[in-house]
Structure 1
């Protein structure tokens, strides 16, 4: 019985670590994507200003 409870506890810990790692990875991915989009919009804005007839 004790061995079964220990195994259940170790499996739950493994799943918890996996879920936590996946959440961190997703957060980093989303933040990086937003930074890239911000960079692209800045470049588009600069190009629009420099283009002939741009405002």
Structure 2
């Protein structure tokens, strides 16, 4: 799971809000279900946060 979280974080940073979170996960080879689990884990780790849609993606890396 750690590698998947890092992979998703990198993709999220490069995405800049252009794709929604599920499409982004699919782009890097994750199923919707796995993407949801990765997002849950990143939220729990406080590495990302929810934001009202400023673009297609509802999550951003926590600063």
Normalising by the residue count of structure 1, what TM-score does the alignment of the two structures yield?
0.29
- Greater RCO, CA 8 A, separation 6+: 2
Identify, as 1 or 2, the structure richer in helix: 1
Identify, as 1 or 2, the structure richer in strand: 2
Normalising by the residue count of structure 2, what TM-score does the alignment of the two structures yield?
0.26
Q: Which has the larger radius of gyration?
A: 1
